[in-house]
């Protein structure tokens, strides 16, 4: 018997991103969730709503650095680190 791989969703790639374009894959349970990117000082640098199970986050105008992506809805909250 093997070990089942548990895949956390949503997933974000490429991470790090050179050009600031991130692909976000999410299950249907995350549709209509808010997705907010914060810089290391807690400022909001990007905000969107997840409207598709495969969606792009376009952070080309955001300076290179380390950020936190927080995705949340009425039932769940998930935080992911992203690097540009």
pLDDT in tens, 2-35: 455 555 679 999 999 999 999 999 999 999 999 9
Q: Give first-to-last CA distance, the chain, whole Å.
A: 39
**Looking at the domain that runs over 11-83, which CATH code has it been given?**
2.60.40.3080
| DSSP code for 65 | S
Q: Where are the domains of the chain?
A: 11-83
pLDDT for 1 equals 44
Structure tokens at 25: 């894959």
Q: What's the confidence (pLDDT) of residue 9?
A: 76
Note the pLDDT tens digit of each residue in 54-74.
999 999 999 999 999 999 999
**pLDDT of the residue at 7:** 55
């Amino acid at each position: 018997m093997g070990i089942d791989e548990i895949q956390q969703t949503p997933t974000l790639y490429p991470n790090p991103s050179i050009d600031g374009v991130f692909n976000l894959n999410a299950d249907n349970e995350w549709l209509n969730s808010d997705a907010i990117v914060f810089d290391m000082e807690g400022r909001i640098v990007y905000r969107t709503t997840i409207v598709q199970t495969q969606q792009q986050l376009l952070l080309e105008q955001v300076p290179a650095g380390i950020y936190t992506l927080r995705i949340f809805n009425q039932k769940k909250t998930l935080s992911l680190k992203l690097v540009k």
